[in-house]
Amino acid sequence: MLDKNLVAEILTEALSTGGDYAEIFVGNTLVNGLYTSERKIKSSSSSLSYGAGIRIFDGVNFVYAYTNLMDRENLLKTAQIAAKGIKSSQKEIKFDLRNLELEKKHQIQKPFESKSKKEKADLMLKISEYALNASPLVCKADATYTEVTRRTLLANSLGVWAEDTIARSRFFLSAIAQKDDVIEKAGDNFGGLYGLELFDGRNLQEFAENVASDSISRLSAELCPSGKMDVVIGNGFGGVIFHEACGHGLEAEAVAKNASVFAGKLGQQIASPLVTAYDDATIDHAWGSINVDDEGVKTQRKLLIENGILKSYMVDRLNGRRMGMEPNGCSRRQNYTFSPTSRMSNTFIANGKSTPDEIIANTEKGLFAEKMGGGSVKPTTGEFNFSVDRAYLIENGKITKQVKGAKLIGSGIQVLENIDMVGNNMSLACGMCGASSGKIPTTVGQPTIRVRNITVGGQK
Amino acid sequence: MQVQEFIEKLYQESQAQGINQFQIDYSQSENFSLKAMDGKIEKRSFKNVQHLSFSVKEGKNIGSIESDKLEEGDIPLIIKEAKENALLMDNEEENFFFGEKREYPVVKRNTPIKDYETLDKEQFLLRLEKAAYAQDKRVKKVISCYLNEGKYQTAIRNSLGLNVSEGGTWAFAGIYLSVEENGIIKTASEYVKFDKKDDLNPELMAQKAVAKALKKLSPISIPSGKYKIVFENECFAELLNVMKNLFSATSVEEKHSKLGDKLMQKIAADGVTLIDNPLLDNGYRTRAFDGEGYPSQTNVIIKNGVLQTLLHNLRTAHKFGVTPTGNGIGGGSRGVSYSNFYLENGNLSQDEVLKQTKDGVYITDLTGTHAGYSAVSGDFSFGAEGFLIKNGKIDKALNQLTISGNVYDLWQDIELVGNDLKFTPDGCGSPTIAVKPMQISCN
């Protein structure tokens, strides 16, 4: 995307005021989106983002400057402006930019341009129609499809020259059901590092009918009771609790600043012995996978927790300096407008031994949070809050009534310690994670698990 | 290539290709920010970016492309994509560009005052961080200590003759910290929007942030149940931000609002007046025109509990048969936007609101608001932080809470409105608000 000699000049300029490390990130991202509703193509959008960010370190302090005026003169000027923020003694830094050999995984089979926008929209309308035809109670079905091609270049004063292209796509369907004055909405999605083969090998009719029946069943859901109860959390997107309440606290960004409850706890028991968890950016075609991170380090599979014992953090280059640790390939950013930091990729709790049926049957009274909604956490305190998207009461080991409006609150440490059953049905689900380096695609995952004694906030 | 030159070339090329109606939205922004940590300036950041959105009208539809790659070689691609997007859509309602000759209001914005130039920003931040640690030995960590300033310029030009531009500057500084006692960790933040040196008092800011956090220590638990609620002004402003879409015409179309057939009906308690005012002096979202180039105007949305209007862009106004309200978004979005969106002051002081409430829960922070709200039903359940209200006064801090209800009930259930209107940086504002009992769970 940029000439190697120009990049070398930019890095040299960046180091001219005594910085001890400099890098340039160039991102070129094309996004196309389609939205259908009410049997019409409501929106078709395109966006093209192209720009560069220059980062310079002086020990653990740093400067970040970015621009999208990409001519030689302005790029060198940006490097100069950035360098002005460093006031240190000149270092002898020599580098020779060499291609980083990458195993280019996640190659797509059917390029996005192999079908017209119209053909894609027609498929979306067809899937929506399955939902609308499922029941007269379904009054609206909306579909959204997004495809992203992200080309990146990362070059730094360690001599790394890493170029990569990642393509990803995702499809959403939502249905609104109405009966008298009651209106409820449900949705589901699938995505990954795929071209148009994203839609292949799936039963799209069954997918749409499930979304429709989900919206209908909510019409008769009762208000969720409040209080402390045992909560069985479903597989797949249920892993969002682990992502928020534990994952963020294992990012070096929080650990290095002593702003995480997990700081200083390597080798210690932080969770129930039933819990083993990974962050793995190398899973084939998974939504959160990448070949190389946004500071030029190859990605890897990291064991975070083994049988409840904390094994490792997710470490980026800058926070690694603060912690005296090597970066382990997890530094990410949304685009060139963000300086990168340690982030998750595909983060999940590994399979245990119980079957999901056993877990329900062993729960006398509690809540089955089959599908989680979104939530947030304060890494400093570990306190989280989550909405439950689809929930049922468990009475005498059986799933009984559907309930709505449930919220789970508590602290990450509390939950990790109180996991007392782990299922054998691990699955992954797509999400977008927002933090200081922007919004990035991440995968959450887990088998069905049971957590004792969570505070449930309902409307009753 | 210079920006003006690029825009001119794009304009010429669009005309040359015989495109009948098209529009160019352009913005440029610069930003400088600093972060302090452990007695040093940890991060310095500089930004200089531009953004363009090019839209074409074909039939009834407007198609767009967003791009920050302004290179002459890309002009054919930009035109092709926008046109293709427009031709693909099959909306039955017509979309519009704005091209009437109109007077634009003159708005008053914050502008940096001279003495600001003499401010040593790095020293200010280092003092702020130091002052926080000096306040109390229970201060565990200053997690973030920052200063941000920037300027922006936006312009809209279209084939109907519209050619408007405006710009502004902004600056704010803040601190976010944690305190710890007996293993309990609590956090609090404080920020200030400023345009002169005198607005920045590091010792006072540190003192306020630390005091807020310390108050939250030694929390107690209360049984789950219904409690009368008083929302702190900024906290209710945050709630307004969550439910503002109720008032947009596009939400009504999407079934994300049930207010479409409630015009001139009572939807809120007496004494509740809700306003969207882009002309507010020095507001966070003050502007002379909206994203479609339509002149700004003040819209009273709820007057004394009665719904007066929805907020519209050019398309929805035409569809609903009303005059546009100046709440359009340009570019590819073409949705509805908000400016300075606030509840008007009542006449009770915060103390008086608490006194009249007597017993209940005082909510200061909401968490997880992006996830705990169902737009179709209006049901919500949020995480929250707060205090017990005992005998009309703020009492002990409470453990982590959830608060649940329904937004349509909430508007009707407002009982008391304070006189301490405050805005948050997202442009929403509210005084202290007391409401009828709501469901609370406490950890």
pLDDT in tens, A409-448: 998 889 999 999 999 999 999 999 999 999 999 999 999 9
Mean pLDDT of B225-247: 97
Q: Where are the beta strands (DSSP E) in A59-159?
A: 61-67, 98-99, 138-156
Residues A259, A397, single domain; the answer is yes
How many other CB atoms are there within 10 angstroms of residue A377's CB atom? 24
Same domain, A137 and A261: no
Check whether A227 has a pLDDT greater than 70.
Answer: yes
Q: Do A294 and A264 fall within a single domain?
A: yes
- DSSP per position, A349-361: EPP-SB-HHHHHH
Phi and psi at B420, nearest 5°, equal: -120, 50
Residue B112 scores a pLDDT above 70: no
Other Cβ atoms less than 10 A from the Cβ of B260: the count is 13
**Mean pLDDT along residues A317-332:** 97
A333 in a structural domain = yes
Verify that A148 and A261 share a domain, yes or no.
no
Does A212 lie in the same domain as A328? Answer: no
Instruction: Report how far Cα A292 is from the mean position of its chain's Cα atoms.
Output: 16
B70 phi, psi to nearest 5 deg: -100, 75
Per-residue b or e along B262-287, where b marks 16 or more CB atoms closer than 10 Å to that residue's CB: eeeeebbbeebbbbbbbbbeebbbbb
Give yes or no for residue B1 having a pLDDT over 80. Answer: no
ipTM value: 0.87
Asked if A328 and A238 sit in the same domain, the reply is: yes
Nearest to B67 among A47, A386, A409 (CB): A47
Q: Is B204 within 8 Å of chain A by CB?
A: no
Alpha-carbon gap: A65 to the closest alpha carbon of chain B (Å)? 4
Asked if residue A428 and residue A374 are part of one domain, the reply reads yes
Sequence ranges of chain B with CATH classification 3.30.2290.10: 114-153+160-215
Instruction: Please state whether beta strands A138-156 and A160-179 pair in parallel, antiparallel, or not at all (unpaired).
Output: antiparallel
CATH code where residue A120 lies: 3.30.2290.10
Question: What is the Cβ-side half-sphere exposure of residue A401, based on CA atoms within 13 angstroms?
Answer: 10
Residue B285 sits at φ, ψ, to 5 deg, of -125, 35
Q: What pLDDT does residue B111 have?
A: 73
Q: Are residues A331 and A410 in the same domain?
A: yes
Q: How far is B66 from chain A (nearest CA, A)?
A: 4
- How confident is the model at residue B113, as a pLDDT? 66
Cβ contact, residue pair A457, B377, below 8 Å: no
Q: Say whether residue A446 is in contact with chain B using an 8 A CB cutoff.
A: no
Is the per-residue pLDDT at B443 higher than 90?
no
Tokens 């093209």 locate to A48
Residue A308 lies in a domain: yes
pLDDT at A260: 87
pLDDT at B294 over 70: yes
Q: Which helix (H) or strand (E) segment is B236 a member of? A: helix B233-243
Please state the pTM of the whole predicted model: 0.91
Looking at the domain B114-153+160-215, which fold is it? PmbA/TldD fold (3.30.2290)
What pLDDT was estimated at residue B124? 95
A375 touches chain B (CB under 8 A): yes
Chain A residue closest in CA terms to B86: A44
Instruction: Report the distance separating Cα B387 and Cα B109, nearest Å.
Output: 36
pLDDT (tens digit per residue) in B404-440: 999 999 999 999 999 999 999 899 999 999 999 999 9
Task: Give every CB contact of residue A23 below 8 A, 6+ residues apart in sequence.
Answer: A11, A54, A55, A154, A155, A156, A157, A295, A296
Q: Which of A454, A444, A456 minimizes the C-alpha distance to A420? A: A454
Instruction: Return the pLDDT at B320.
Output: 96
Using pLDDT thresholds of 50, 70 and 90, give the confidence band for residue B212. very high
Chains A, B: CB pairs < 8 Å: 225
Instruction: Give how far A112 is from chain B: nearest CA, Å.
Output: 15
Q: Which two tokens stand for residue B28?
A: 């440029």
Lowest mean pLDDT among A34-38, A39-43, A377-381, B78-82: A377-381
Indicate whether A422 and A446 sit together in one domain.
yes
The DSSP bridge pattern shows strands A160-179 and A98-99 to be: parallel
Sequence-separated (6 or more) residues with CB below 8 Å from residue A406: A224, A367, A369, A387, A388, A391, A456, A457, A458, B381
Cα separation of A393 and A444, whole Å?
24
Residue at A309: amino acid letter: I
With respect to residue A74, please indicate whether it lies within any of the assigned structural domains.
no
Is A58 among the domain residues?
no
Task: Select from B48, B65, B375 the Cβ nearest to the Cβ of A46.
Answer: B65
Determine contact, residues A458/A224, Cβ cutoff 8 Å: yes
Check whether residue A328 and residue A393 sit in a common domain.
Answer: yes
Contact B301, B274 (CB under 8 A): yes
- For residue A183, pLDDT beyond 80: yes
* Chain B residues 326-355 within an 8 A CB cutoff of chain A: 332
Whether A453 and A433 map to the same domain: the answer is yes
Number of domains in chain A: 2
Of A47, A375, A404, Cβ closest to residue B368: A375
Predicted pLDDT of residue B114: 65
A210 with A346, same domain: the answer is no
Show the domain range for A286: 227-457
Structure-block tokens of residue A357: 């049926």
